[in-house]
Structure 1
Amino acid sequence: MDFVQNLKLLCSFYDSTAEVCRKMGVNRTQFNKYLSGQVQPSKANLKIICDFFGVEEFEILMPHDKFRQEVMPEHTLAQQHPALPAYFSKMMELYDQSKIGLGRYVGWYYEYYYSLGFPGRIFCSLIEIAPRQDGIGFSRYERLIPVASKGRKVTHCHYQGIAINLCDRIFLMDYETLTVNEITQTVLFPSYKSQLTRLFGVKIGVSSKSHREPACTRVMYQFLGETIDFRKQFRHCGLYQPDELDADIKDCIDNQQERDNPLFIAIGE
């Protein structure tokens, strides 16, 4: 039952069990049997589940209370500051108002930027911008290992966030769902082309390394389509050496500053 409770907790960070099964590439009927405790997954399926959620096999089998405390720490706002309700109310208002303006950006993207935690490497992750019940949200899926490596453990991270359209800019704010140890913000230029291909902007976050340095980097979103083969596209994600990618991708995310310019400014179309 600990495994069942841990699996349900991991699934709770997604919109539905169907979404988890589709993105993981497992049979939904079989997965529901895991969730109900009717059967235990095979060793091969257990590895697929753990790789998808970014946890170790021994962790997902922990006692549930220990799993929540050590692997999925629960973060609650014990004492709300008086200013917070007004702030969140305004953010939810902007979130709701952004549904129409962001409709054309719904779909899947590759996100390219110079890694905050691995200097000199370019990071590619998978982004889904999708309608939610009360606005436009997005998910970010990371694969934290160079895609060319063999026989090394792959670590996955999953971020959930909201998208807001404000003053002709797209604001994306997200948090890391499995460990809740990071918040990032991305600001993108909208696209005025009849056919959406790329979005450009900057993102700010912290390094995944122990020093946790705040950093800013230019970013490019490459549109893939409204639907994709998740497992196939996700295999492309990871860390790249710059010479492994096309020159135009590197030009879009070049972090060099202009001479005598004290500001770090996004590169647009």
Structure 2
Amino acid sequence: MTEDFSRNLRSLCADRGSIAQVCRDIGLNRQQFNRYLSGAGMPAAHNLRRIARYFRCTEAELMAPHEEFERRRKTDRVARHAGPLDLFAEAFQTGSSEMRRYLGWYHSHITSPSWEGYILRGLSCIYERDGYVLVRSLERATSRDGTIVHRARYDGVVTRRGGRIYILEQEARSEASVDETILMPSPRQKVNYLQGITMGVATRPYLLPYASRSIWKKLGAQVPAREALGACGVLPFNSRKIDPTIRSYLSTETLTVSWGGCFLRAGLARRESGSELGQVP
């Protein structure tokens, strides 16, 4: 049984590339994990459960005879890639413990051609379900004269790959756009801000694609949902409701993201600040 387990584990790790990254993702000591790989030891029940969850299999499958295990993996692989869209399934599956510190509520901030000269603040929740990290985002905005009311809900998936956080969202209505956000992971253990770029399609006056700097601010668990949603909308750049870190990041004249390279570089239109929340020409 020990030999079958170690062979099955080596087979699974071979698809991942880096043993060190697997250990970090699961949260296991590398030296101890090497004992599992070599067959010199077996994991305790709670560690076996963590390993099975990470590789998206059952504990019984991990302990199965190796030949049976490989046959089942081959069958599952064929079924998983039955269609072209299924190629993305593995990209957004996660067993990574590193993603768990990013779970929670955020205020997202972008600039959009739909609200020229203003900051659009939305509310997003990143959560985990059935082996996936998911996101739900809400946007609320009203023009100064009340003739334009924007309400939108987005649902999507989140993953961390190559040291970046990828968020893919679709608006919850027919023929809605698909937006992508790429964020830099927080260099600190405590997540305060996530900075990056959002690419999407403006809702007005024309359905034009755009790219904007994007900054997400982590909200404390004690903030009531109603209060967090009530703070959403369009705000002028000089609003006291926008903290300096967000204002400075969104005011930069290019879409260059600093500590990790450049995703996109393009000039941004000069902005003129309004006077109060929701004041849109």
- TM-score under structure 1 length normalisation: 0.60
Higher relative contact order, chain-length normalized (CA < 8 Å, sep 6+): 1
Aligned pair partner of 2:179 in 172, 184, 188: 184
Aligned pair partner of 2:140 in 140, 143, 147: 143
Report % sequence identity.
Answer: 21
Structure 1 residues without counterparts, runs of 5 or longer: 1-83, 258-263
SS in 2 for 1:94: helix
Q: Could you say which residue in structure 1 is the equivalent of 2:92?
A: 95
1:266 paired with 2:257, answer yes
Q: How does 1:39-54 map to 2 (within 5 A)?
A: none
Distance of aligned partners of 1:176 and 1:215 in 2 relative to their CA distance in 1, 3 Å threshold: same
Inter-partner Cα distance in structure 2 for 1:226 and 1:86: 40
SS in 1 for 2:98: coil
1:203 paired with 2:198, answer yes
Q: Could you say which residue in structure 1 is the equivalent of 2:216?
A: 221
Q: Give CA-to-partner distance per residue, 1:27-58, whole Å, 9 cap, x none.
A: xxxxxxxxxxxxxxxxxxxxxxxxxxxxxxxx
Inter-partner Cα distance in structure 2 for 1:98 and 1:121: 38
Contact 1:200 1:221 (C-alpha < 8 Å) held by counterparts = yes
Contact 1:217 1:255 (C-alpha < 8 Å) held by counterparts = no
Amino acid at match of 1:191: S
Contact 1:115 1:123 (C-alpha < 8 Å) held by counterparts = yes
SS in 2 for 1:196: coil
Structure 2 residues without counterparts, runs of 5 or longer: 1-80, 261-281
Q: How does 1:51-200 map to 2 (within 5 A)?
A: 86-97=83-94, 99-145=96-142, 154-200=149-195
Amino acid at match of 1:104: R
Distance of aligned partners of 1:213 and 1:156 in 2 relative to their CA distance in 1, 3 Å threshold: same
SS in 2 for 1:256: coil
Contact 1:197 1:222 (C-alpha < 8 Å) held by counterparts = yes
Q: CA deviation at 1:133?
A: 1.9
Aligned pair partner of 1:250 in 230, 241, 247: 247
Inter-partner Cα distance in structure 1 for 2:191 and 2:245: 17
Inter-partner Cα distance in structure 2 for 1:169 and 1:182: 23
Inter-partner Cα distance in structure 2 for 1:152 and 1:228: 31
Between 1:123-132 and 1:84-93, the stretch displaced more is 84-93
Q: Give CA-to-partner distance per residue, 1:80-99, whole Å, 9 cap, x none.
A: xxxx9554223111211355
Inter-partner Cα distance in structure 1 for 2:209 and 2:250: 18
Contact 1:130 1:136 (C-alpha < 8 Å) held by counterparts = yes
Distance of aligned partners of 1:89 and 1:227 in 2 relative to their CA distance in 1, 3 Å threshold: farther
Distance of aligned partners of 1:234 and 1:143 in 2 relative to their CA distance in 1, 3 Å threshold: same
SS in 2 for 1:161: strand
Q: Give CA-to-partner distance per residue, 1:209-253, whole Å, 9 cap, x none.
A: 141111111010000034641111111100011111333211112
Q: CA deviation at 1:155?
A: 3.5
1:237 paired with 2:238, answer no
Contact 1:114 1:218 (C-alpha < 8 Å) held by counterparts = yes
Q: CA deviation at 1:178?
A: 2.9
The root-mean-square deviation of aligned C-alpha atoms, in Å, is 2.3
Amino acid at match of 2:137: R
- TM-score under structure 2 length normalisation: 0.58
Inter-partner Cα distance in structure 1 for 2:175 and 2:167: 17
Inter-partner Cα distance in structure 2 for 1:268 and 1:87: 34
Q: CA deviation at 1:184?
A: 0.3
